[in-house]
Amino acid sequence: MSDLENLKAAIEALVFISGDGMTVGEIARGLGEEAAQVKIALDSLVDEFLERDGGIILQETAGRYQFVTRPQIYPLIQNFLREKKKETLSRSSLETLAIITYKQPITLAEVDEIRGVSSRSQIATLLSKKLIKQVGAKEAPGRPVLYGTTREFLEYFGLNSLEELPPPQDIKELNFEDF
Q: Where are the domains of the chain?
A: 3-73, 91-178
Angle subtended at Cα 59 by Cα 157 and Cα 179, rounded to the nearest 5 degrees: 15
- Biggest CA–CA distance in the chain, Å, is 65
pLDDT 10s digits, 101-156: 999 999 999 999 999 999 999 999 999 999 999 999 999 999 999 999 999 999 88
> Matching CATH topology for 3-73 and 91-178?
yes
pLDDT, one tens digit per residue, over 146-170 is: 999 999 999 888 888 999 888 877 6
Question: Is the bond preceding residue 105 a cis peptide, omega within 30 degrees?
Answer: yes
What pLDDT shows up at residue 31? 93
pLDDT recorded at residue 176: 45
Q: How far is CA 95 from the centre of its chain?
A: 18
Q: What is the DSSP letter of 174?
A: S
Fold (topology level) of 91-178: Arc Repressor Mutant, subunit A (1.10.10)
Check pLDDT > 90 for residue 20: no
DSSP per-residue string spanning 29-98: HHHT--HHHHHHHHHHHHHHHHHTT-SEEEEEETTEEEEEE-GGGHHHHHHHHHHHPPPPPPHHHHHHHH
Given this model, what pLDDT does residue 172 score? 54
- Does 19 or 28 have the greater pLDDT score? 28
In the chain, % helix, strand, coil (3-state, to 5) comes to 60, 15, 30
The partner residues of 147 in beta bridges, in order of sequence, read 106, 134
pTM (two decimals): 0.55
What proportion of the chain, given as a percentage, has pLDDT over 90? 65
Q: What is the CATH number of domain 3-73?
A: 1.10.10.10
